[in-house]
């Protein structure tokens, strides 16, 4: 069986991430998408949570990171999320997209985003 994917889309959280002082002072909305690549064959065969990546645990850990840490760049935040997900032993690779839903720019922009992919070393 080919590696499978666990896809988590639209995780909305408040965080203090950005370069500007007001971005650090007041929480703003972010949206995170996570796609975990893993061998899901055993989980598909056994129907056991122990045989897969527990996405509930991933969501809780990512929420704690976004809400309690502070990064200037979306790239750094996405990288920290990817590193966190890859601590899950069954995760072989992860793609993380982080969207700032109210970017501080002088234009009508719905979001600014960074997407990156990391593999287990």
Given the structure tokens 């122990």, which residue do they identify? 50
Catalytically annotated residues: 100
CB 78 within 8 A of CB 95: no
Dihedral sign (CA 60, 120, 34, 99): positive
Cα–Cα distance, 44 to 49 (Å, whole number) = 10
CA angle 110, 116, 121 (to 5 degrees): 160
């Amino acid at each position: 069986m080919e590696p499978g994917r666990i896809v988590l889309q639209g995780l909305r959280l408040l965080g203090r991430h950005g370069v500007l002082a007001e971005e650090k002072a007041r929480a703003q909305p972010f949206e995170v998408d996570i796609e975990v690549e893993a061998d899901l064959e055993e989980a598909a065969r056994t129907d056991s949570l122990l045989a897969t990546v527990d996405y509930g645990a991933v969501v809780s850990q990512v929420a704690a990171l976004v809400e309690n840490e502070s990064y200037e760049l979306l790239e750094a935040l996405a990288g920290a999320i990817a590193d966190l997900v890859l601590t899950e032993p069954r995760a072989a690779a992860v793609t993380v997209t982080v969207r700032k839903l109210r970017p501080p720019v002088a234009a009508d922009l719905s979001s600014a985003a960074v997407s990156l992919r990391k593999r287990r070393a």
